[in-house]
Amino acid sequence: DLAIDLLLKRVIFADFAGVSAQEVEDYYRTHREKFTEPEAVQVSIIPAETEEMAQKAVAALQTGEDAITLPGERQMTLSARRGWIKRGEVDPALEEVAFSLPEGEIGTVKVPLGYYVVRVEEKRAKRQKLFREVREEARRAALQQKYRDVLKQWITKLRERSSVQVDEAMIEQAIAAYEASIR
């Protein structure tokens, strides 16, 4: 590991100067898709064991109650299970309901363990993050990209200056020996 570290620092990246502010801005502009905030929905959820319990919860919530007690259950509040969800993060049925309901609306979802009563609290559209919000993240990404580019250039130069001969018979023997060892 020490030899690799020395090779990287003293040979490959000896003249590496980091990234300039302009390179960071250029990286942000050419990789804008990496700096987006996806569409999200803030939901409040009450789990219910049966469809009947879910419908009772919906009826109670539609009258303006924020806390309900279902038969045989402890009191449940919507705010107790509140959070933001993005597409692809939750059960597809829950995602479909959450993203299709308007803000303030209530719906039910059948899930493997019963039902969810879902109220959409707030929706947030997909948006492009501003450069000033992601400057440090863009700087790190641009730096990593530049490191990779320098390393690729070094490997290309090394290959151009080197003569590599491949002994196919030796490779076949090595593969056979490896396959025999894993049987």
pLDDT tens over the chain, length 183 residues = 677 767 767 667 777 778 899 999 999 999 999 999 999 999 988 888 889 888 888 888 888 776 666 556 666 655 557 899 999 999 999 999 999 999 999 999 999 888 999 999 999 999 999 999 999 999 999 998 988 888 888 888 887 888 877 688 887 888 778 777 775
pLDDT of residue 157: 85
39-125: CATH topology is Chitinase A; domain 3 (3.10.50)
Q: Give which of 74, 52, 61, 48 is closest to 101, Cα–Cα.
A: 61
C-alpha 23: how far from chain center: 25
Q: Which regions of the chain carry the CATH code 3.10.50.40?
A: 39-125
| pLDDT, tens digit, 9 for 90 and up, residues 76-102 | 655 557 899 999 999 999 999 999 999
| pLDDT, tens digit, 9 for 90 and up, residues 141-167 | 999 898 888 888 888 888 788 887 768
Look up residue 19 and give its amino acid.
V
The pair of structure tokens assigned to 16 is: 């590496």
Q: Give which of 137, 121, 54 is closest to 84, Cα–Cα.
A: 121
pTM higher than 0.75: no
CA-to-CA separations, 54 to 26, 115, 116, in angstroms, rounded: 52, 6, 7
